[in-house]
Chains A and B, each alone.
Chain A
Amino acid sequence: MTAEEWTAVRLSLLIATTATIFSLPLGIAIAWLLARGRFWGKSVLDTLVHLPLILPPVVTGYLLLLSFGRRGPIGGFLAEEFGIVFSFRWTGAALACAIMGFPLMVRAIRLSIEAVDQRLEAAAGTLGANPLWVFATITLPLCLPGILAGSILAFAKSMGEFGATITFVSNIPGETQTLPSLIYTLTQVPGGDAAAMRLTLVSIAISMLALLGSELLAKRIGARRQTA
């Protein structure tokens, strides 16, 4: 593989990992709100979270460009106040990936929180644990498989994200050129077929490894529970 190809692979891994790690806390919080919360506007929040799943990725990317671009309301504020720039940077690609993977992550975690027996949480309360402790020591460990599944889904989605990323941060080699962007570029130039094929295989390999890894981890959690 060429240096350019390696760079794209490394960048994709970095972007997907960053997107997953940073969206996880918010994903757990939103999933908990949707699973357990009773508040006005819950269905609005639910719709909002699911929106990236339904909208064309290009639309999501364009909306990101409008709001998080240098001249966008949020992007301009972040750049001026904190010096954080998303547009045409790899961080922007991570933001786009995080948003695209968010519905998948929240959905998986929400389902597993809903499956946690609330009677166990009540029991923990009678033993003196305040709600935050109950969440940390009972709810969270019990929905760990769901959190893991959600993270893997978000990671896999990030590895394959193309539309929103290319619209928001373009396709700059070394900065925002991810694996799918490079494959796309290669298919557009004559003689790029062999390289595109190589990267396709790499892409398949990474996805399978991620899936396999999550299976192993899930099994381990299950096994620990059996012997614990």
Chain B
Amino acid sequence: MSLDVDVDHRRGSFHLQARFTAAPGLTALFGRSGSGKTSLVNIVGGLIRPDRGRVSVDGQTLVDTGNGVLVKPHRRRIGYVFQDSRLFPHLSVRRNLLYGRWFARGSGGAAADLGAVVELLGIGHLLERNPESLSGGEKQRVAIGRALLARPRLVLMDEPLASLDESRRAEILPYIERLRDEAGVPILYVSHSVAEVARLATTVVIMTDGKVTAVGPVLDILPLADANDGGAVLDATVSRHDETFHLSVLHSAAGELQVPRLNAAVGAHVRAYIRARDVMLSLKPPEDISALNVLAGRIASITATGGAQADIRLDCNGAVLMARLTAKSVDRLGLAPGRPVYAVVKSVSFERS
């Protein structure tokens, strides 16, 4: 699957001018609110007609203003999971789920049967319920299932977790991960949460004021994502659980990490997000400190942010780690590119921002 977007759209003083190609997996559209993410997704889904440009999925042109092509939303076979789940109030959960399936008959696409989707999303016990009686998290899972059962070529998710509280988000994230890894349907995911993107994305498209400012694999792009809240993503696997202290030990390219007990099986793949301001640097291996995680690395580059601070990019055995220090500390320790250092990681986050 491939999604090619190249559009130009004006709405009042806002000018959306975006061009990117999405690879298989989950592509995150990341940016502040008002950066044009939702408009872009609506253009792909057919809810907004762009002033100029082209959109194509798998080589089929959906929009080409130059040649007067504008495929109607119901013919695009693009699933859409809205921020407000938009379940049909007069239909049961089961009939909501099956709504799109009837129209998808004979259209091929990703085979999806009710049983498999229900199992994937853990919504079997909700089938006979009325949508209004569901919790926010349950509603979003049903909405995701409904989109999947219409056999889409591509699923759009517009901040599907934005209206949920933290614990509900944590409840849905694993399902979206499974969807990404098991359902084989590419996903275009809108978010302004670094942590969500870090955890879910394969590819990241960063948007600023209606323009695409960076596109690439999440591990390369995310460190640049947000000047106020820089950080780095580490790919890791769970190597064991330490039940005595309620910890999980993760193995990553940068070294071993000990984190509060994760609800994941040994061998499971997880993504750790380490914020730049949670990393301290030391020239010698630190002794007798409370932090559990110390990673050895080498300074790759130092970027002065103009004020009192500097961003240090570390190379820890091939993995990137970001640290934010004061310019004074950089000077005092004599930090320079190439210098070996020890990174003391104060905290590691997984899904929380």
Query: Which residue of chain B has its CB nearest to the CB of A225?
Result: B90
Interface flags for A2-42 (1: CB within 8 Å of B; 0: not) read 00000000000000000000000000000000000000000
Complex: how many Å from CA A90 to CA B99? 45
Q: Tell me whether B84 and A119 are in contact (CB under 8 A).
A: yes
Question: Across the A-B interface, how many residue pairs have beta carbons closer than 8 Å?
Answer: 70
Complex: how many Å from CA A138 to CA B46? 19
Query: Which residue of chain A has its CB nearest to the CB of B100?
Result: A127
When the two chains form the complex, which single residue of A117, A128, A138, A226 contacts B74, counting CB atoms closer than 8 Å? Answer: A128
Q: Tell me whether B84 and A128 are in contact (CB under 8 A).
A: no
When the two chains form the complex, which single residue of A127, A225, A227 contacts B147, counting CB atoms closer than 8 Å? Answer: A127
With A119-B82, A119-B84, A128-B77 known as contacts, the answer to whether A228 contacts B90 (CB < 8 A) is yes
When the two chains form the complex, which single residue of B78, B86, B99 contacts A119, counting CB atoms closer than 8 Å? Answer: B86
Q: Tell me whether A120 and B88 are in contact (CB under 8 A).
A: yes
Q: Tell me whether A128 and B100 are in contact (CB under 8 A).
A: yes
Q: Tell me whether B88 and A124 are in contact (CB under 8 A).
A: yes
When the two chains form the complex, which single residue of A127, A129, A142, A228 contacts B146, counting CB atoms closer than 8 Å? Answer: A127
Q: Tell me whether B103 and A128 are in contact (CB under 8 A).
A: yes
Complex: how many Å from CA A127 to CA B95? 13
**Interface of chain B: mostly helix, strand, loop or mixed:** loop
Q: Tell me whether B82 and A125 are in contact (CB under 8 A).
A: no
Complex: how many Å from CA A129 to CA B103? 6
Instruction: Chain A residues near B146: list those with CB within 8 A.
Output: 127
Instruction: Chain A residues near B72: list those with CB within 8 A.
Output: 125, 130
Residues of A within 8 Å of B, CB-based: how many? 23
Complex: how many Å from CA A228 to CA B87? 13
When the two chains form the complex, which single residue of B45, B99, B104, B130 contacts A228, counting CB atoms closer than 8 Å? Answer: B130
How close is A115's CB to chain B, nearest CB, in angstroms? 12
Please tell me if B25 contacts chain A, counting CB pairs below 8 Å: no
How close is A130's CB to chain B, nearest CB, in angstroms? 5
Interface flags for A110-128 (1: CB within 8 Å of B; 0: not) read 0000000101101111111
**Interface of chain A: mostly helix, strand, loop or mixed:** helix
How close is B75's CB to chain A, nearest CB, in angstroms? 8
Instruction: Chain B residues near A138: list those with CB within 8 A.
Output: 88
Q: Tell me whether B78 and A126 are in contact (CB under 8 A).
A: yes
Query: Which residue of chain A has its CB nearest to the CB of B76?
Result: A126
Q: Tell me whether B82 and A128 are in contact (CB under 8 A).
A: no
Instruction: Chain B residues near A131: list those with CB within 8 A.
Output: 74
How close is A183's CB to chain B, nearest CB, in angstroms? 42
Q: Tell me whether A126 and B79 are in contact (CB under 8 A).
A: yes
Instruction: Chain B residues near A122: list those with CB within 8 A.
Output: 47, 73, 86
When the two chains form the complex, which single residue of A133, A225, A227 contacts B103, counting CB atoms closer than 8 Å? Answer: A133
Q: Tell me whether A226 and B130 are in contact (CB under 8 A).
A: yes
Top 9 A-B residue pairs of the complex, sorted by shortest distance between their CB atoms: A128-B103, A127-B100, A126-B80, A123-B86, A125-B73, A127-B150, A125-B74, A141-B90, A228-B92
Interface residues of B (CB under 8 A from A): 45-47, 72-80, 82, 84, 86, 88-92, 95, 99-100, 103-104, 130, 146-147, 150
A-B contact pairs, 25 of them (CB 8 A): A119-B84, A119-B86, A120-B89, A122-B47, A124-B99, A125-B72, A125-B74, A126-B78, A126-B79, A126-B150, A127-B79, A127-B100, A127-B146, A127-B150, A128-B74, A128-B100, A128-B103, A129-B74, A129-B99, A134-B74, A141-B90, A225-B89, A225-B130, A226-B130, A228-B91
